[in-house]
Chains A and B, each alone.
Chain A
């Protein structure tokens, strides 16, 4: 079997991504190109992603991103073996741009199309950096839109959701707390930076869903966000200064404490020895530090892809596409629909 070139197209939120991966005859993956065009700057003044703004940006960015990716990889579209595209979950109008483009590329080139799951892509991307996943592993996905604990028993065949957030995603909580503290959007990087100068034990913010009778592997960050706002407002009302670094550090500690504790507990309970942390929030320094500490204590191997791979990109979709091709998966039909609420167990739309 000669090498196969797999194209990945991502447009589920505010990044237009085109990734190109070479699938070797031995099943190895090599990243050839990873072009991302972000509309982040256009959303900053709105304090969050505006779907219509993101969709317009996807349309403008799609063909140029494809052109740059091909140039970087030093290939032409006819060299492509298969095309993978994010079919969900994500913003409906945004997904539709990528899916429509991918169908057109597939039809015009007469190549197979794979409509794939964005969340599975976040797990698959780790294989580009750290090689094949063990037979079973656990994945913690944390981003602005998702917070999920997944049992992965085959990246192309079996992903089971053990738990997810019942309200805000972890990244969303960062954005909201950043607003409370008058920090810029997105909130993750500034809170992470400030936290380094603060005391994570200064304020005992609540750890959501950690009671005896709470769902073991679900998350909740809405109450935490409200608790932070309440604490800050009380200080302001009393005319006292707000210790911003301490608030940031204590909030961040509450988030990463719950995330890592539940991930390690799930690893123990399901008897897996590898944890993958991916998604935009995986770039958080305290999350990776605490996860490393707790995984080491529990004898769990921790895998965190480099930040560039953790955020949304086309490389993760190309990687997942490559795993599906290697597993002999049947292509998706060209009348496939994007599914904004695609469940994580559906790795590919058949």
Chain B
């Protein structure tokens, strides 16, 4: 089957067309990736079009869409989610959300690092989004959001030996783990993370972003006086 994969949960604007059959790992036919945290809104749809064109395909050839559901900075994350939802609605395609760190973990394993893994991406405000994976690639904790020092204190319990993701790079000195992999999810990794559901033709989960934080908003206190008392 032909799957369109999207992710905007990291600074990378990612779109790719991937072939999935039950017998071999997902294979990327074409992809467009730009690392620019401010360009998700501009570039995602053009990237989708360019990847399809390079693969010699059109929307009509697609069987499904997979979308990274975060966690990630909210504004960028929503670009991928709403784009996937609209593409799915317009073409009558099922859209499968997958946690973005799951895709990064698949990529790291595919690159040969079969060790317990921490994926940590940049959550800004001096925090990281993270998830932990065992040697078999199963997620054992997360996704969650914490300060690097709090996460560092839990690493022994988590049993992770290597780390991947931009958060792991940024806070390498705090986390003290060797960093592996590119740090961004690949189209093939995204499709692999949803492979079971895709191949089973499962009913997709709702397209709900993994925000992990509440909106910043405070209820107003008593009204301010304009005349000093």
Contact = CB atoms under 8 A, between A and B. Distances in A.
A338 B189 CA distance: 30
A44 B173 CA distance: 44
A101 B79 CA distance: 8
A231 to B, nearest CB: 10
Interface string A225-260: 010011001100100000000000000000000000
Contacts of A229: 225-227
Interface stretch (A53-61, A149-157, A163-171, A193-201): A53-61
Interface string B18-59: 000000000000000000000011111110110000000001
Interface in B178-225: 209, 211, 215-220, 223, 225
Given A62-B86, A108-B87, A237 B229 contact: yes
A100 B90 contact: no
20 contacts: A50-B217, A52-B217, A53-B215, A55-B78, A56-B78, A56-B215, A59-B209, A62-B82, A100-B78, A102-B86, A103-B83, A104-B82, A104-B84, A104-B87, A105-B90, A108-B86, A229-B226, A233-B225, A237-B229, A337-B41
B145 to A, nearest CB: 15
Contacts of B74: 52, 55-56, 93
Contact of A59 (B45, B78, B226): B78
Contacts of A25: none
Interface string A38-80: 0000000111001011011011001100110000000001000
A45 B221 CA distance: 11
Nearest to A111: B90
A330 to B, nearest CB: 17
A96 B79 contact: yes
Contacts of A329: none
Chain B at the A interface: SS class: helix
Nearest to B95: A63
A109 interface: yes
B75 interface: yes
Contacts of B105: none
Given A56-B215, A103-B45, 17 more contacts: A77-B90, A96-B78, A99-B41, A100-B40, A100-B45, A100-B79, A100-B82, A100-B83, A104-B87, A106-B45, A108-B90, A229-B226, A233-B227, A234-B227, A334-B46, A336-B42, A337-B41
B45 A179 contact: no
A229 to B, nearest CB: 4
B42 to A, nearest CB: 5
| Interface size range on A against B | 35 or more
B50 to A, nearest CB: 10
Given A50-B217, A55-B78, A59-B78, A107 B223 contact: no
Nearest to B8: A100
Interface of B: 40-46, 48-49, 59, 74-75, 78-79, 81-87, 89-91, 209, 211, 215-220, 223, 225-227, 229
A322 interface: no
A59 B80 CA distance: 10
Contacts of A104: 45, 48, 82-87, 90
A92 B38 CA distance: 12
Interface of A: 45-47, 50, 52-53, 55-56, 58-59, 62-63, 66-67, 77, 92-93, 96-97, 99-109, 179-180, 226, 229-230, 233-234, 237, 334-338
Nearest to A60: B208
Contacts of B216: 50, 52
B215 A337 contact: no
Nearest to A48: B220
A62 B88 CA distance: 13
A163 to B, nearest CB: 26
A56 B217 CA distance: 13
Contacts of B42: 335-337
A179 B42 CA distance: 39
A177 B122 CA distance: 42
Q: Which of B40, B83, B86 is the most central at the interface, judged by chain A CB atoms within 10 Å of its CB?
A: B86
Contacts of B82: 58-59, 62, 97, 100-101, 104
